[in-house]
Structure 1
Amino acid sequence: MRDVPERVKRIVEALLFSSDRPISSARLAELSEAADGREARRAARQLQAEYQAEGRAFAIEEIAGGFQLLSRPEFAPWVSRLHNRQQQETLSKAALETLAIVAYRQPITRAEIEDIRGVQCGHILRSLVERRMLKVAGRSSELGRPLLYATTRYFLEAFGLRSLRDLPQRKEFGPPPQDAERPGEGEDDDGRQHEEEQEQEHEHEQQSGEQ
């Protein structure tokens, strides 16, 4: 691997240090003096090699299609004390089951999810959309053109995944998606998709008599 100029590496290091979200190699190149995304990627990986060789308490991880500077897991108890964070609300078993179905079968309709789970899950889908784990990815060509659900870039970040290909093999779901739309693409920043999803779910619940 060709060495990256020291100045470029330090700029990339500063950018990663200053961000609380993963930064793509293309964005790192745009913000730094790297020649292109490939050089920015090499800079991040060379920095990580330095950290590992020196036994640093932090590392550069590849998450959700980008790079992020994180403290190493073994130091989590002390970092948590520093920030005095309240324990994050965990997802319920039902929410995790629904999320897993969407992750492996996306894009997928609500009816297909309910057919697999055997129970209605409108309120769970709404909750996962509100928590930015899921998004409305379009409409099915089936009768009535129901909404299709897919995971988001935030889903990858939350579970520490570089891409959907990093999902573990699950016999009941088959292999992880290989050709799915990149998480985050097509997401509507002004929330119109979320509003539409809520309206459609409410209408469905009224028709089905769900409370």
Structure 2
Amino acid sequence: MNEDDLVRIQAIAEAALLAAGKPLSLEELRELFWEGERPARQVMEHAMAMVEKACEGRGFELKRVASGYRLQVREEFAPWVGRLFEEKPQRYSRALLETLALIAYRQPITRGEIEEIRGVTVSSNIIRTLLEREWVRVVGHRDVPGRPAMYATTKQFLDYFNLAGLDELPALSEVRDLEAIGREIEKKMQGEIELDVPSAEGEEADEQNLDESPSEQTIH
């Protein structure tokens, strides 16, 4: 395959990523071509490397996330680009971020296990929000009385937080408690979400302490 063919494949990939509005996998990009002209996987990977290089010094970049490749605004330009949108970023409570962090690091995990670690009940609204956003899903049921649902994260979770895999989450050795993990996850949001950390008196009404003086909960 000559250089002109590679440049054409690169251009087609760029056009597809701009039009798709979502990540595209390598196979989805290859499927854009007729069978007789479909580039080999290695050739397609080389073309994507060319796309990445072409983005250097530009206001956007090629990012590989769990679902594939996407073109996105570089993080450093988010403050300016954000002014195009009147809607304010959605605010998430510390309780939601801590629950999401536990699911991400301890999956599969049940609601009862989350409550045991956090020391407070988990609001039904939190679980519903995570399910509706498709950040978590039910992957089975624990073989204990009541058969509680077990939760795990999804590809949508990885895509939203700009991750290709769970191994890109901050290492547990670098964070000592749930609140710190919540802050680290928030950094992955690229300014899309604003963290709302309520005071002890401002916690959600349906989160009741399981212990009047719970000890500090940590993840080991």
TM-score category by the smaller chain? 0.7 to 0.9
Question: Where do residues 1-211 of structure 1 align in structure 2 (5 Å cutoff)?
Answer: 5-32=6-33, 34-52=38-56, 55-82=57-84, 84-123=85-124, 124-171=126-173
SS at match of 1:70: strand
How many residue pairs get matched?
Answer: 169
Unaligned runs of 5+ in 1: 174-211
* Counterparts of 1:92 and 1:146, CA distance in 2: 24
Label 1:44 to 1:127 Cα distance change in 2 as closer, same or farther (>3 A).
Answer: same
Structure 1 consecutive aligned stretches of length 4 or more whose deviation exceeds 4 Å? none
* Counterparts of 1:144 and 1:155, CA distance in 2: 28
Aligned counterpart, 1:186: none
SS at match of 2:62: strand
Larger Rg computed on CA atoms:
2
Aligned counterpart, 2:210: none
Unaligned runs of 5+ in 2: 178-220
Contact residue 22 and residue 70 of structure 2 kept, 8 A: yes
Shift of 1:111: 1.0
Shift of 1:97: 0.3
SS at match of 2:64: strand
Contact residue 13 and residue 29 of structure 2 kept, 8 A: yes
Q: Which structure exhibits the higher relative contact order, with contacts defined as CA atoms closer than 8 Å and separated by 6 or more residues?
A: 2
* Counterparts of 1:99 and 1:40, CA distance in 2: 35
What is the alpha-carbon root mean square deviation over aligned residues?
A: 2.1
Contact residue 28 and residue 37 of structure 1 kept, 8 A: no
SS at match of 1:120: coil
Aligned counterpart, 2:213: none
TM-score (norm 2): 0.70
Label 1:85 to 1:153 Cα distance change in 2 as closer, same or farther (>3 A).
Answer: farther
* Counterparts of 2:143 and 2:44, CA distance in 1: 41
* Counterparts of 2:107 and 2:58, CA distance in 1: 38
Q: What is the one-letter code of the residue matched to 2:139?
A: A
* Counterparts of 1:28 and 1:85, CA distance in 2: 33
Q: What is the one-letter code of the residue matched to 1:50?
A: A
